[in-house]
Structure formats: structure tokens, C-alpha cells
Structure 1
Amino acid sequence: MKAITLFVVLLLGCFWEANAQEETVALGNDTLWNLQCFKVEPEVISTKTSLLFVPGEELAKEDFDTIARFFTDRGIAVFKLDNPSASNVEKSVKYIRENSKELNVDPNHIGVVGYGGKPFFDRLPDLPVHFVVSALQKFDDAQGEKLDFSDTIPVLMIANSECQRDIKNLNAFYSVLNKRGNETSFLFVDTEKTGPDTSGSNIHLKMICDWLSGYGGLEPLFAEKTEAQKKAEDWVNFQKYLENLLHTDWALRQRFAEANKNLKQQSFPPDRIVFMGNSITEGWINADPDFFKETPFVNRGIGGQTTSQMLVRFRNDVVELKPKAVVILAGTNDIAGNTGPISLEDIFGNIASMADLAQTNNIQVFICSILPAYDYPWKPGLNPAPKIAKLNKMLKTYADANDCIFVDYYSAMIDERQGMKSEYSQDGVHPNLDGYKVMEPILQKALKNFKK
């Protein structure tokens, strides 16, 4: 791959069209210059490359958002400087370089996008930039003869067909760049023959991306993925996993088949208690293994599971183990929609059915409150908090009326937003060790009262 060096892209008579909105962040001292940042979204793999736009009169008339979105969607950060003086260009490049870590860009992959022909290049001497975009209008034969910017910068010149009338002057500028040592490319676009979906900005922007790609400017510099990317990929992989289970073992009845077989071959302790649940139950034994050591507790939690899946495997993983009691902690993944949409009434019905099945087999039932959650990091925006609160009330009412014991973790772990207190969880859903240490005495008190 060719090493990244300083780039200049010259856009001649471009037609920019934009109308979408992109979140911007004001940077720098507004009394000196106004610099806006269009960041790469967390879900997009960043190339660490950035473009600093120094708009001229033509670009200033257009909405800039779609231009920025075009590049940020391709992993390129975009900066826009509203006051294009030479000193402000220098200050902006310096700002980006000095704050590259916070801005998530590489200080050696910064490009400048400018307008106005030769005057724009007069602002470039000694700037530590690595590619430049300049929309040039008309040239006279003298322009280009006294260029002062680095002769190591490759140059891309893009013009629409109307600029061909100035071909002599453009060729002169092109020749000067080549004689100076700048590796220069020159392209024309016939905008009159293109439709509305391909005319103007998109043609030129695609050319820029193709050209930058040749210099490695569009290749991700780092293999590490952001937390948002990891979470998004984890959710996609989890959905694929569920799709596979749908055709094989949807409820994971085989997950504990061997362990259950071994337990049934042993003598049945009279005080065995099975924990039925999801990742909160499964993670409990990992977070605090001492809580399960030398006890009659049997953990049958499976991460990601919903009450529909638990009900299917309840006979295998609970009833056939002949426990004295079962502790059911379930429902949050249903609200998250892990196996599809489901009403609160149906979630409640699944838990009630597990309780009925247990009581039919003389197993005491402990129904646990769903833990508070303000949001689900793997599926944000569902507003689970009020649903959890409502379902907990339904479960408590059922437990009180049907000889079940309600275990209230919720009240001890909720914060002012109806989410889980931050000290009890890293992601707002799954307890950390401190969270489990809050839950354990609540459950132990309920078990102690039952044994009496």
C-alpha cells in the first residue's frame, strides 16, 4: 500500500447539493474562528482520516450537512472553518492535531478542503496536512508559477465540463504542479449527462473517495472496535444465534442435559433449591462463587433467555431435579424483545405457568422481582423502566395470592430514574459483585423464613 503523504484535491466548478442534518460540535475560540466538527458515528469504523473544509463563496451558499454526512458515513471526520484566513487555517489544523485523540482522528491523516484557486494555495505553506480539496474556478496562465506549498503533496483536480473552455489555463496549472514534483491527477465530469441522483456533489465526492482510497486514506488504521461497534455486532450475532436455535434447540433444553443426568444419579438432597433465570442468574455464580459453594443451590441460568424459553425447559431443569424450592428471576429479556415482541400479560403468564408447574410437583416457588433497568445497552430506546415496575406489581400480587414468596430486589436497587443504581452495575442491567451482595441477604432472609 502506498504511504499516506500530503494530498491536494482541486475541485473545479463543483455543484454541491445537501439537505440532511448532522450533529455538529463548535470548536475553538469563536472570536478568532468558528470551527465545526462532524464526527464519525460510533457504529461506523473510522479511517482516522479527517477533512478540514475551508469554504469559499460557492460552497458557502450550500447546505454543508450532506457533504459532511457523505464522508462521515465512510469513516472520515469532517471539520468546517467559516473564516478562511491563512492564520485561521493554520490554527484549525493545529487544533485538530493537538486534539486528535479526543476527536478520534490521526494527526497524520489531516486534509484541507478549500476554494478559490491560487489564493487558497497561498494559505498552505508549512501546514502539516496530508490532503487538500480546492474548488478552483478560473485560472490565468501565471497561476501556479509561484506556488509555495509542499511539492510532496499529490494533487487531484476535478472539473465539470463547463471548465473545458479554460482548458489551456488548467493545463498550465497542471503542468506547473507536475514540474514542481506534485503527483497530479486531472479529471472532468460531464454533469449535463447525469441524472439528479448522480449529479453535482455525489460525483465529485465519489471521485475524492476513490482517489483517497488509492493512497490508503480510506483504510481503517486500527483493528480495535469501539464499544458501540462491539455492542451492535454482539446484538447481530446474538440474533443469528437465536435464529439457529429456532431450528435446533430453541429453549436450550440440552444445555444442562449432562449436568442434570449426573445430579439425578446422586441422592436427592431434601433442601435442594434450583435457580431458574437468564444471564443475571447465570452470572451470579461467576461473580460470587462462594455464595453457591457448599450449599444445595443449583444454578440453571442461561444468558439472553426469555420466559418462553424457560417455560419450555422448566421440567428438565427444575422439576426432574426434585428440588424443595425454585427461585425464578426472569422477564427482563422479554421486555427487551430478545425472542420477539411479547406483552406484559404473556410474560406474567409464562412465570405463572412455571409457578403452577412447580407447585403441582410440591416445589415451593420464590418469584423474584425483575431488576430495575433504565435502558438496555444492546437494544436502546425501549423505555423498559415503567414496564418493569408494572410487571413487578403483577408478580407480587400473584405471589401473595398463590402461596408463592415474592423476593423484592427491585426496591433496594432502584435509582431516581427507575434504573439500577450505578454502583450496582456497569451496564445498568447486569449486577456487579456489589449488586449481588445486595441481592443475597434479601434472598437469604426469604429462604430462612421459608425453612421455618
Structure 2
Amino acid sequence: MPRPIVFVGDSITEGWGEAQPGLFARHGFVNRGIGGEASGRIRARFRDEILAAGARGVHLMCGINDIAEVEGPVPLPRIQENIAAMVAEGRRLGLPVWLGSITPATAIAWNPEVSPRPSIAALNRWLREHAAGAGARFIDYHAVLATEEGALRPGFGSDGVHLTPEGYRAMEAILLAALGAHGAASGASCPPAGRDR
């Protein structure tokens, strides 16, 4: 049985596996998303998750819970540090790393004092640049999910942050294109990530 690509993240990742179990089963993806976790908690379990699964690649997507201040305010450089450390760990293990963008939101229902759009835009710019320099591959989910105002498109979100099945279906095509460009979507062996993405 081919080794899996492991999806590590928060509730956005967790919900993807729940909304599209067939996608994960067909391609042998393993979902390790845990709702409510900020990047620091994900970083703490990252290595163990990919080693336990025998990963041949890792898809990392996180940061919205930091921006939403689920554990209190988190400076942008701290989020970047956590994500950079996980990308570096994946690369040290010889794995290709796909780095997903933060998905759109213009408000946080459970924390209305937070205005997430500027932080999402800044972090997504950094994610793209960091992937290019760190040997990872950036996947821009935000572009296919967002309105011009930076909100989730109608029908793609359930509460302004979390995705509906329709939202996940919109992400599926660009995920498979990114993986398929490197022979990874179907379980074929996958070369180490380079600067292309």
C-alpha cells in the first residue's frame, strides 16, 4: 500500500476529511486536522503525526485560529516562525511539503472584535514567499474561495470561516492539480520538493 500524504492542520483541514471522505479514500490521504488548534499546538505534534503515518508528503494549512485569537493574541512573526519550523521539519525528513493558504474571512463570529482580513492577506503573502524559498509548494485556496471583499463566496462558508462541502469541492481541483503536477495525487512516488510550486 502506498505511503500517504498527511494533511496536518486545524478545523479547516479536519472538516475537509469529513466533507469529502471519498476524496481522501481514493487518494490515500490521511487527515490530521484538529479543530481549535493554533499553529503552536500544531507545531508541537507535527513531527509525530507525519512519522506515525509513514508520510511520503505533507499538506500543511493553519493560522486562522491564531488570527482569530483562540488562545489570545498571537503576533504575525510567531505564526510565521511556527509554520516555517514545520516546513523545515518536513523538508529535513525528505518529504515534499504543500503549504496551503489561509482561507478567506472578513469576520470571526465567535470573536467579533477581530478583523481578520488584513492579517490573512499579510500571512498569505508571506506563505507564498516562504514556500518559494524553503523548497515547499504553495497552494492558493484563497483565490478560488474569496469574494473581492475577502469573504468566503456565497455557498462556500457556513459561518464566515468554516467551509461547506461546496467550498471544499472548489478547493479539490487546485489541490489535485498541485499534487498531480508532481505525480503525487494518485499515490505515485513523489520526488523531494523543489522551488517550483
Q: Same fold (TM over 0.5)?
A: yes
Question: For residue 184 of structure 1, what is the aligned residue in structure 2?
Answer: none
- Match of residue 413 from structure 1: 145
2:29 corresponds to:
297
Alpha-carbon offset, residue 271 of structure 1: 4.1
2:77 equivalent to 1:345: yes
Cα RMSD of the aligned pairs, angstroms, is 1.3
Match for 1:410: what amino acid? H
- What is the DSSP-based 3-state SS (H/G/I as helix, E as strand, rest coil) of the residue aligned with 1:294? helix
Cα distance in structure 2, aligned partners of 1:283 and 1:409: 15
Kindly report which structure 2 residues correspond to 1:106-121, keeping only aligned pairs within 5 A, or say none: none
For normalisation by structure 1, the TM-score amounts to 0.40
| Residue 67 of structure 1: aligned partner | none
Paired position in structure 1 for 2:133: 401
Aligned to 1:325: 57
Q: C-alpha displacement at 1:279, in angstroms?
A: 0.7
Deviation of 1:423 (Å): 1.6
Partner of 1:376: 108
Residue 276 of structure 1 is matched in structure 2 by 8
Displacement after TM superposition at 1:292 (Å): 1.2
Q: C-alpha distance in 2, partners of 1:441/1:434?
A: 12
- The answer as to 2:103 corresponding to 1:359 is no
Counterparts of 1:307 and 1:292, CA distance in 2? 23
> What secondary structure, in the 3-state scheme, does the structure 2 residue paired with 1:422 have?
coil
Secondary structure of the equivalent of 2:155? helix
Whichever residue aligns with residue 142 of structure 2, its letter is Y
User: What is the alpha-carbon distance in structure 1 between the residues aligned to residue 93 and residue 113 of structure 2?
Assistant: 40
Taking the TM superposition and a 5 Å limit, the aligned residue runs for 1:101-250 are none
Q: TM-score, normalised by structure 2?
A: 0.89
Question: 8 Å contact 2:155–2:166 — kept in the other structure?
Answer: yes
2:16 and 2:168 in contact (8 A); partners too: yes
Unaligned runs of 5+ in 2: 184-189, 191-197
Structure 1 CA distance for aligned equivalents of residues 26 and 149 of structure 2:
38
Q: Unaligned stretches of 5+ in structure 1? A: 1-268
Give distance in 2, aligned partners of 1:293 and 1:320.
Answer: 18
TM-aligned CA deviation for residue 428 of structure 1: 1.0
Higher strand proportion (structure 1 or 2)? 1
For residues 235-268 of structure 1, what are the alpha-carbon distances to aligned partners after superposition, in whole Å with 9 as ceiling and x for unaligned?
xxxxxxxxxxxxxxxxxxxxxxxxxxxxxxxxxx
Q: Secondary structure at the match of 2:166?
A: helix
Q: Which letter maps to 1:326? A: V
- List structure 1 runs of 4+ shifted beyond 2 angstroms: 319-322
Contact 1:270–1:323 under 8 Å retained in 2: no
> How many angstroms does 1:310 deviate by?
0.4
Distance in 2 separating the partners of 1:444 and 1:294: 12
Identity of aligned residues (%): 38
- Return the offset for 1:270: 4.1
Name the CA distance, whole Å, in 1 between partners of 2:28 and 2:124.
Answer: 27
Letter in 1 for 2:41: Q
Deviations 1:302-356 (A, max 9, x none): 0011110000011211134231110001000000111221111110110110011
> Which of 143, 155, 173 is matched with 1:441 structurally?
173
Structural mapping, 1:38-117, within 5 Å: none
